[in-house]
Chains A and B, each alone.
Chain A
Amino acid sequence: MCTLLAIVGGMTAAQAPTAAPPYTVLTRDGRRPLATRLASGQDMFALDDLAPLFDLTIKEDAAAGGLTITVRNQIIVLSAGQSLASVGGRLISLPSPPVHDGRTWLVPVDFVSRALAPLAGLRVELRKPSRLLLIGDIRAPRVAGRIEPLGSLARLTLEVLPATPHTVSQDGPRLVIRFEADTLDAVLPPTTAPELIQGVRPGDGPATVVVDLGPRFASFRTSDVPGDRGALRIVIDVVSASAEAPAAPQALPPPSVAAPDGPPLIDLAPAGGLRTVVIDAGHGGSEDGAKGAGGTLEKNVTLIVARRLKAALEARLGVRVILTRDGDTTVGLDERAALANNNKADLFVSLHANGSMRAAANGAQIFYLSLEEYGDAAQRAAHAESESLPAFGGGARDIELTPWEMAQARYIDESAALAQAIESSLRERVPMSRRAIQQAPLRVLVGANMPAVLLEMGFLTNPDQEKQLRSDEFQNTLVQALVTGITRFRDARGASRPAAAPAPAGTVR
């Protein structure tokens, strides 16, 4: 009955597609809008709209309730109600089945990248965040910006990926930045220094950005700084009239010195190194966790160590550190992993203090996830031979389909390496449990989409360890050991794969 309702519900949703913001198609011939409709919770294109773009021949097989699409003499077979499609004889998965809407068929936008791109014989790139569809050899660098007021000047930083030749020139009350590209995929910042920069907007040309200068503008200077992974940072300092005083220029920091500061504007996958670490102070709020005989609560110890570890990691490794809680608040286990996932953290370290029915139990333990308890799907995800799909502009790209709630499955080996790095560092400094590294089905780790471990720092139920865990000295020793362990993990990972970042997650919910 439930299934029947679900089917009926699905049909109802599928039968009423609603309009969605259009995509923009960029080809050598220019740009044009491509209508998009929302059905089954997915952005969809009409096959009739895609037909002229890709020279498709569409045949409907009413008896079988499906479609045969011919692209350059190769066949794509779609079936109503099926999210699997056959593409040139290979099976691919779509986020939702095609929808029959009146006389036309709607397909999820991913149909373009997963089904058409491999067969189209030309470069096809679907950029969902900016709703762009690039067909052919189109240069459309991504551009993101930030404006910072720095006393007498305002600094505009534009990050460009991939690095693209450009010129910056003044045209009256404007600066014009022209890129050697066909178009820009730009997210331009709102102004925070209107006296100097009134606004940043797309220019008249297809690949220009215009900076409208404010009333206090006197001069500008620009410099280019190479960024990570082939990106480029263009730093433009707009200097005010008051700073033009004779002594002032020497006092201004040269852009190239300060430019690399700040988080990346375009999200670049880390190249072996660490950029963001999430530290999870276990329990909190209504959940005290383990309790020592002397009244020490696990939730308080974990928070103190988490805060110290954040300060130490930021200062020593220069990474961004996010705490899952920075106070005595109740935070759900899903929320903790989600915070790390949403911030694209490179590591997740959950801090806990142990408890035992036995006062004698002592020593630190490090856990990482075991997959046995999560069935075949998780095991497959961990050792998946990922689906290899032809990529834009030739080559192939590995796509792995992992249920989101088991995101950790793909990182088991790296999590084991992290556990070992932290264990060896801890062992040099603090008491370790007889079984120091353990694998277990721990709830907070399973959804983390990055290497993740849970550290039980010691047993609060052991009177000696309770005293230790309360002491500044022991807490600082733990922090020191964690920083060293994380550094070793980073260095080992960086050495083993200097440039290759983890494969992009083709993660599905």
Chain B
Amino acid sequence: MARRAAAIAIVLVLLLAAGVIAWTIVPRWYARRNAPAASAAPQAAAPAVAERKIKATLYFVSADGLSLAASEREIPFAEPIVAQARRIVEAQLEPAPPPLTAAIPMGTTLRTLFITDRGDAFVDLSPQVTTNHPGGAINELFTVYTIVNALTVNLPAVTRVQILVNGKEADTLAGHVDLRRPLQQNLKWLAAPAASPTEPRQ
């Protein structure tokens, strides 16, 4: 009788142990095993996201040289917003579609870009933006507002833009435009006919 009771007790203990293993240890082990796979998932999906494009409004010098003209172009979608901002500036640094002309000097590259919580974007450009600048107040205004408008028009979360040169705050690019503080969007440099269809994009 006592031996039978002991056998039942052993079976019960074994069952209990199996239960514990089934209910707690296995799920934990399973979860741990699957965790790397879960975090890897976005990487696997990334190429598919990069295929997505957005339409961005970019700015170039008009034929008469006295105003900016807006031009739409498809650029890669990127997240987070700072990555998207980079793509926009990089697209703005590419050659202009004919018959427009780029307002940013040849050879200028984007070094870094960051966006503060207040919506101020800091765009750090390579020194060519200064050294290759052909001068002239209107030219310099176009160089600056090409970048300021491209970011603020396409990214409503960016409210102001400050241009840095070679990692440092700059007084001006070529002796005219005050770059010591972030600048707001200004569409008055656009030619009058092009100004109306250029609506801020969501």
Contacts and interface: CB of A to CB of B under 8 A. Distances in A.
Interface of A: 282-283, 287-291, 298, 333, 352-361, 365, 367, 372-375, 433-435, 438, 440-444, 446, 454, 456, 459-461
Contact of A358 (B101, B137, B183): B101
When A and B form their complex, which 9 residue pairs have the shortest distance between CB atoms, in order from nearest?
A355-B136, A361-B65, A358-B65, A290-B135, A356-B65, A443-B178, A354-B136, A355-B135, A357-B101
A373 B136 contact: no
B154 interface: no
B50 to A, nearest CB: 32
A183 B101 CA distance: 71
Chain B, interface residues (CB within 8 Å), range: 20 to 34
Contacts of B102: 357
B103 A357 contact: yes
A44 B180 CA distance: 34
A424 B174 CA distance: 28
Contacts of A372: 184, 186
A26 B37 CA distance: 88
A288 B66 contact: no
A438 B138 CA distance: 10
Contacts of A435: 66-67
B101 A374 contact: no
Contacts of A358: 61-65, 101
24 contacts: A289-B135, A290-B136, A291-B135, A298-B135, A352-B176, A354-B136, A354-B138, A355-B134, A355-B138, A356-B65, A357-B134, A357-B139, A360-B65, A373-B186, A374-B181, A435-B67, A443-B171, A443-B172, A443-B176, A443-B179, A444-B175, A454-B137, A459-B136, A461-B134
B184 A365 contact: no
Interface string B17-28: 000000000000
B101 A289 contact: no
Contacts of B180: 443
B172 A367 contact: no
Given A357-B101, A357-B102, A373-B183, A434 B134 contact: no
A353 B136 CA distance: 7
Interface string B80-119: 0000000000000000000001110000000000000000
B175 A440 contact: no
Contacts of A441: 177-178, 183
Contacts of B75: none
B141 interface: yes
Max chain B C-beta neighbours (<10 A), residue from A288, A354, A359, A434: A354
Contacts of A287: 175
A417 B22 CA distance: 87
Max chain A C-beta neighbours (<10 A), residue from B66, B136, B141, B186: B136
A289 to B, nearest CB: 5
Contact of A356 (B136, B176, B183, B184): B136
B87 to A, nearest CB: 24
Contact of A367 (B64, B135, B137): B137
Contacts of A434: 64, 66
A372 to B, nearest CB: 6
Nearest to A454: B137
Interface in B175-202: 175-181, 183-184, 186
A158 B189 CA distance: 55
A356 B138 contact: yes
Contact of B139 (A333, A354, A375, A444): A354
B64 A373 contact: no
B168 to A, nearest CB: 16
Max chain A C-beta neighbours (<10 A), residue from B102, B137, B175, B181: B137
- Determine the main DSSP class of B at the interface with A: loop
Contacts of B66: 356, 361, 433-435
B122 to A, nearest CB: 16
Contact of B178 (A291, A353, A355, A442): A442
A427 to B, nearest CB: 16
Contacts of A291: 134-135
A461 B64 CA distance: 12
Contacts of A353: 136
B136 A333 contact: no
B184 A373 contact: yes
A375 B65 contact: no
Nearest to A297: B135
Nearest to A288: B135
Nearest to B137: A456
Contact of B134 (A290, A367, A454): A290
Contacts of A438: 138
A374 B16 CA distance: 74
Given A283-B175, A298-B135, 16 more contacts: A288-B135, A333-B171, A352-B137, A355-B134, A356-B66, A356-B134, A357-B65, A358-B101, A373-B183, A373-B184, A434-B66, A435-B67, A440-B141, A446-B178, A454-B137, A461-B65
B61 A440 contact: no
B178 A361 contact: no
A375 B181 contact: yes
Contacts of B64: 358, 360-361, 434
Nearest to B186: A372
B186 to A, nearest CB: 7
A374 B176 CA distance: 15
Interface string B151-170: 00000000000000000000
Nearest to B139: A355
B96 to A, nearest CB: 9
A156 to B, nearest CB: 46
Nearest to B138: A354
A486 to B, nearest CB: 20
Contacts of A356: 61, 65-66, 134, 136, 138-139
A134 B62 CA distance: 64
Contacts of A442: 137, 176-178
A287 B62 CA distance: 27
A283 B103 CA distance: 21
Nearest to B96: A357
B65 A373 contact: no
A367 to B, nearest CB: 6
A336 to B, nearest CB: 10
A379 B130 CA distance: 30
A128 B117 CA distance: 46
Contacts of A367: 137
